Amino acid sequence: MPKWCISKSFTISYAHRVFNQDLLDSGYEAKCRRLHGHDSEVIYKLYSSKLSNSMVLDYTLLKPDYFSKYNAVHAEHLDHKAIFSIHDPEIDIQDEVIKQLINNQGYYLDDSSLIVDFIPTAETLAQFLYNQFKIFINNLKSNHVLYITDLEVCFNETKGSTCCYTEWHC
């Protein structure tokens, strides 16, 4: 059976801290324990076994404004943000509304930061963006005829260091 794959990439700059980094007695300093930044690339991929109107999906729909219409976080919403885990011992969140949002939806996003309920590594950020992508696509599928069979999000934290996340068969 034929299968098409389309992809669209976005570049983001962000800061994060992997407060629990452990290099397994490698002799190297665990630099990611300190706040630091990356210029990264996020690639959204869609797979389809059939075309709708001669396309898998119009590339225009993969822009941040369309994700926002369905309350889904797009990679570009993370651009120039500091990403922290609520479990980071250096983060002290007193605001109960923010705590409740994180408990309910797994994250809190404002103009300067994203606070999540996981440690922000390339792997967990790829999974987070995949889950948001899946929300977006499932909402589109409920309103449009689409033949998308699989999704994938690749997170290039730095040039040459990539993590891809998929669950296949969305």
Provide the mean pLDDT of the chain. 91
Interatomic CA distance for residues 113 and 117, integer angstroms: 13
Token look-up 């190297």 returns: 28
What is the pLDDT, as a whole number, of residue 92?
85
Give mean pLDDT, residues 30-54: 93
Question: For the whole model, what pTM was predicted?
Answer: 0.91
> Could you tell me whether strands 36-48 and 161-165 are parallel, antiparallel, or unpaired per DSSP bridges?
unpaired
Across the beta sheet with 36-48, the strand order is 107-109, 113-116, 81-85, 4-16, 36-48, 148-158, 161-165
> pLDDT of 61-119, one tens digit each?
999 999 999 999 999 999 999 999 999 988 888 888 888 888 888 899 999 999 999 99
Q: Which domains does the chain have, with CATH numbers?
A: 4-22+36-79+121-165 (3.30.479.10)
> pLDDT of 113-140, one tens digit each?
999 999 999 999 999 999 999 999 999 9
